[in-house]
A and B are shown apart, each in its own frame.
Chain A
Amino acid sequence: MPVTTMAGRPIQVNDEGFLTDADEWDEALGAELAAAIGITLTDEHWKAIRFLREDFAEQGETATLRRVSTRGEIPVKRLFELFPQKPTKKMAYVAGLPKPRGCV
């Protein structure tokens, strides 16, 4: 597993740059991950990210786009504006979580 330095400390990531240990994440790191993909986090972004973190702690899985929109109460349209093109993937990346499981 590659190790990279972010927020002033070594962080374990996979080939795509996703954190492999969700516990290494904190909000400072979240802001840095967002900056790395060209996103400046606003309160609305944080609402989504915090929902993802809390939901992951309860469910052990990264929430799908639908779940963020229905349970996290942010319309899908808005999520596409906040995290352009690939909101599911980008939110998981910033929140330091695995990509949601590919649906089978």
Chain B
Amino acid sequence: MTRQLLVLGAGTAGTMIANKLRHRLDAGAWEITVVDRDDLHPYQPGYLFLPFGIYTPDQIHRPRHAQLADGVRFVEAEVERVDAEAHRVSLTDGRLLDYDYLVIASGTTPRPDQTPGMLGSQWRRSIFDFYTFEGANALATALQGFDHGRLVVHITEMPIKCPVAPLEFTFLADAWLHERGVRDRVELVFVTPLPGAFTKPVAAEHLGSMLEERKILLEPDFMIERIDDEAKTLVSYDEREIPFDLLVTIPLNMGADFVERSGLGDELNYVPVNKHTLQSKAHADIFAVGDASDIPTSKAGSVAHFSVEIFVDNFLELIAGKPMTGSFDGHANCFIESGDHKGLLIDFNYDTEPLTGSYPLPLAGPMALLKETRRNHLGKLAFRWIYWNVLLPGRPLPLPAHMSMAGKHAVTAATKEE
């Protein structure tokens, strides 16, 4: 009898898993099915560039089914619920899918409905997000008409996917306003629930001073309670108020609602997993890979990529009745656009925060860490091609899945993470 591997979500992680395993599982013995609600695979990192007209909308999307290897079944439907006891998934159209193993790869989604006032009278008038295709496009139009006033960039709550994207947007906005000759007529403010510009001390300090150099005001420790849409003001739980003319917010990010309905999620609908194997803590035949899990590292495509490498080898061991020997270390690797055709690179894992130094990239040569260079910017742009042509098809990329200390400047105990 053929066995069933069912993957929920044909985004970055789900697509890579299906493709890699299709090449390594016997087609007669294993069927692989991937479910997604639509057939439009977005290159999400491109959303950052849409508001500034750097990418055009047609550079962002490709059909999902075309990214999947031959022999992978694609089902276009909305997932309703997972019945973990019955090993069965129900779709909202009434269909049922049985599985031997289930991979939850349903990612995370911005939820503006979770903050009172966000979806009020100002939504997509003076309040925008750029974490969706529609939001990024609407913001592009709004920016065209914006030449003075207070531009507030805001993070609702951590964790969010691509936690550096709000900073990148801010740097790009600063450069863009300069280019248009209106920067001195705009007050640029960065509002975050974190105590500083970023999560970890060394990176927070570097990125914080980059905000200062650009005369961008930082409002730390801001936990939003609501938006007063009539007064165009952010209000925090401790009653601080931040007025805006144009607000670019990252709404609360949450995992899929079906995760919650199925009793598989935490308070943000993320699936609690073993952080080294991505196996559900509650069910041995369920894994959560990519943004859908609760692992304590960045929610990023690079993390999805590195963790999929480990997952695939482990999965082959598991179904062969052997113990899983691979252990994911939380490795993340992110380019940060900083404006004027420059960028930074950060590289870290569960135990090591982003440090300065260099990253030994095969072929392209060493990339500078936590330092603005033109080469890092080119690396970021090259990534779109790599995403479609190397990562999604599951071709090997000569990057080790585990983080390496080679090239990094270690910090002394006194400056260690808080």
Contact = CB atoms under 8 A, between A and B. Distances in A.
A103 B237 contact: no
Contact of B225 (A64, A70, A71, A76): A76
Contact of A104 (B221, B223, B298, B418): B298
Contacts, number: 41
A102 B199 contact: yes
Interface in B290-347: 296-298, 332
Contacts of A84: 238
Contacts of B418: 99, 102
Contact of B159 (A70, A71, A103): A103
Residue with the greatest number of chain A CB neighbours at <10 A, chosen from B266, B297, B298: B266
B163 A104 contact: yes
B238 A67 contact: no
A80 B191 CA distance: 19
Nearest to A88: B223
Contacts of A103: 158-159, 163, 194, 199
Overall SS of chain A's interface: loop
A85 B286 CA distance: 40
B417 interface: yes
A: contact size bracket: 10 to 19
A25 B266 CA distance: 27
Contact of A65 (B194, B200, B223, B266): B223
A9 interface: no
Give the most central of B200, B238, B298: most A CB within 10 Å: B238
A104 B238 contact: no
B247 to A, nearest CB: 21
Contacts of B158: 103
Interface of A: 64-67, 70-71, 76-77, 80, 84-86, 99, 101-104
Those 5 A-B pairs whose CB atoms lie nearest each other, nearest first: A103-B158, A80-B237, A70-B267, A103-B159, A102-B199
